[in-house]
Structure 1
């Protein structure tokens, strides 16, 4: 798989532009925290998706179709994983009864944490890959394991959320108030005691969720491109607009009942692809005597992109069809009961 050569100047310009967009988003939320309307959310999501598509066109113009295909495949995979991440965010918001007008700020914090964690994993992953080709065996095996986990979840989209060790320890170790105080972590009760607010627990839950999804997403993107620049930009564009997408989809999130199965197929495919590439470039002594495996095929990026788009499209359409049928069945059931 070829890698894209990117100059320091291009990296600098890209970082400045992306940081400016994120800061603009941050300032908008900070100055006017609110629950976005459907129209507002649609416009923002459309803007960010359009920017990602235009960025891919720019990669095509300056670096060729191969790298543009890698970017689009990576962006679609990461975007799908990020949408799955939203399901867990919905569960967390509901579990801890976060007021709707505060959810936008919480989501923005969650997205910033995700960017920081993924940035760290990208740097670590790039360093490992450049030094050790056998890392692809580990990445591939991890993705196949993750795909099996998604498949086992079936229609339980986004899995479930249970309080982890960090949250349980914090609950025992520090005193908490029962009410939120905006997005502040500390408050003072009527008796003058300084207490932590439930927001601390929410942010710990969001942060640990981001960490888990970062562990899934980075091997997945390295399965479609080895270029750190494309890995980074695909992740940033996949996280942009998630805050607005959360409010746009709203109750529609639970209609994507087959998203986990679609992601299972995508991650399983990428995992197998990584293992095949590791075999083709093999230098591990106890595999084929340390020699390249001649029969291991190279999967072209156009085929990868086709499988990713096709799988996600089928999963989405099948989900909407099933949800519509289930809704009709629910509406018809009272009529049947009334007849009997």
Structure 2
């Protein structure tokens, strides 16, 4: 009993091990509930269900923040809520990228949740590595924070001044080309499978092929890695506690993935959110230099400013686009239309299962 107590109370990255175990148990429980109970069968998720799922994930995140307040104090809880809010906001652009990826591969909507779900597992590991490296750098080289601050300032200004983003050229993506060169790939959708065994002409033995679902998963993981370059420095500018950084990131991503099916149909309404996000990045970047030259910005003030800027961006966007006839399909008109499974089969007539 003493050995177990010692293990549970031993600090891991500055926080007691039992707190990390509770967090991981909650995340695993949510993922099992999501895939094992709520979505055992592949089906299209409607907007209402997407909003309900997000409400559930968001509520769990808020309750976790309250538990952090009870266990670690108000300062840690406010930093958690700020990071939770910032990460969700910065990842919203990722929703549009995911929609582009699904459109490019013509992934039917009923299979998209499966790709997003397994993508979460990759996010859990990738963010752990990036945050672990970031925490090590900050602890050993405090001046790295100023690099983060300068990077956030540059990113914020660039985002505010940039025009409408150009469409991504997924066909010429180097990672996609690498996968196609080194793996057998079929353009045909085979249900919810990431890999299938097919017998090509002239062969008597079935070979393993990757499906478009696997290619979409690879690009979605790559997109998250790219977006993490902004979000990880942003959260480290708010707090250097690895526990708060990691937990706020993961809870935010869990909620955003569940909200994808609603957001992908509403992204055209948030046209001014980009400027609010730019101001948030500039504020967080300035906060680092203010802390070094003057003093620490109160966590409650930081949370209030962040929330106020983002809320303002959402409200202005909704007001300005009210009655707008534009649709997501118009914004994504460069993408091929979604094909049925029967149409997909015509792509690989030379292969047989």
Question: TM-score, normalized by length of structure 2?
Answer: 0.79
Instruction: State the match for 2:146 in structure 1.
Output: 137
Q: Quote the residue 2:228 is aligned against.
A: 214
1:304 aligns with 2:302: yes
SS in 2 for 1:36: coil
- In structure 1, the partner of 2:241 is 227
Assess, with a 3 A threshold, how the Cα gap between structure 1 residues 72 and 109 changes in structure 2: closer, same or farther.
Answer: same
Deviation (angstroms), 1:187: 4.5
**How many residues in Structure 1 have an aligned counterpart in Structure 2?**
307
Structure 1 residues 142 and 160, CA gap change in structure 2 (3 angstroms)? farther
Q: Is the 8 A contact 1:266 1:311 kept in 2?
A: yes
State how far apart, in whole Å, the 1-side matches of 2:31 and 2:158 are. 33
Q: Is contact 1:153-1:260 (8 Å) kept?
A: no
Does the 8 Å CA contact 2:194/2:212 hold for their aligned counterparts? no
Note the C-alpha offset of 1:172.
4.6
Aligned to 2:198: 188
Structure 1 residue aligned with 2:112: 103
Equivalent positions of 1:243-322 (< 5 A) are 243-277=257-291, 280=292, 295-322=293-320
Aligned to 2:322: 324
Shift of 1:30: 6.2
Mapped pair 1:22 → 2:34 = no
Residue 3 of structure 2 aligns with which residue? none
Is the 8 Å Cα contact of residues 29 and 105 (structure 1) preserved in structure 2?
Answer: no
1:230-284, Cα deviation, whole Å (9 max, x unpaired): 111101110113332111233112211122211111112112222333xx2xxxx
Moved more, 47-56 or 267-276: 267-276
Kept in 1, the 8 Å contact 2:96–2:264? The answer is: no
Give, in angstroms, the shift of residue 175 of structure 1.
4.7
Relative distance call for 1:161 and 1:108 in structure 2 (3 A) is farther
Runs of 4+ in structure 1 off by over 6 angstroms are none
CA distance in 1, matches of 2:306, 2:237: 12
Q: Indicate whether 1:115 and 2:124 are aligned.
A: yes
1:29 Cα deviation (Å)?
6.4
Residue 177 of structure 1: how far off its partner (Å): 2.5
Structure 1 residues not aligned, in runs of 5+: 281-294, 329-340
Structure 2 unmatched ranges of 5 or more: 1-12, 327-353
TM-score norm. by structure 1 comes to: 0.82
Which whole-Å CA distance do the structure 2 matches of 1:95 and 1:270 have between them? 35
RMSD of aligned residue pairs (Cα, Å): 2.3
The CA distance in 2 between the partners of 1:153 and 1:214, in whole Å, is 20
Instruction: Indicate the SS of the match to 1:254.
Output: helix
